[in-house]
Amino acid sequence: MSTVETLKELDDFFRSMRQAYNSRDMKLYRSHFWTDKRFVHLDTTGRIDDGWGAYEEILDQEFRYMDKVTLELKDLRFNLFQDQFANALGAWKVSQVDPDGRTSETEGRCSFAVVRIRDDWKIVHQHFSSEPLEE
């Protein structure tokens, strides 16, 4: 597989992941991740979810409580290693609407480590950080 094809594959992979999140389809969203207990998610508050199960519990609560969630990923840059491993760096923004109609938005930088497992890409590690406050 050529590098160009692999980069398109990764772009499609992250588009699909984002769409699954936005539709709150936990089963489809989960399919983008390595669901092993060694999976690590770092969020903007500094919370570390060790293992897919810990992260899924938090997501499940968000998906159930919020009326709408929207994840945007922008300007993702990929670094490929032998078409088997990649990291992605970019910007993110999440908008949430609660049951009372209040909207909150958070944005910042994100990074992902992805590995080709058999024929599929899986996120094995992700990190979200908030945008620094302007002075």
What is the spatial distance between Cα 120 and Cα 108, in angstroms, rounded to a whole number? 27
CB burial class (10 A; 0-12, 13-18, 19+) of residue 70? middle
Nearest by Cα to 126 from 112, 107, 116: 112
Whether the predicted pLDDT of 12 surpasses 80:
yes
Give the model's pLDDT for residue 46: 87
Whole-model pTM: value is: 0.90
Lowest model confidence (mean pLDDT) among 15-19, 50-54, 88-92, 128-132: 128-132
CB 115 within 8 A of CB 84: yes
Give the model's pLDDT for residue 134: 61
pLDDT, mean over the chain? 93
Q: What domains, with CATH codes, occur in the chain?
A: 3-130 (3.10.450.50)
Nearest by Cα to 86 from 111, 118, 109, 113: 113
Under the banding of pLDDT at 50, 70 and 90, the label for residue 1 is low
Tell me what the mean pLDDT of segment 17-32 comes to.
96
* % pLDDT > 70, the chain: 96
Give the model's pLDDT for residue 45: 87
CB 87 within 8 A of CB 111: yes
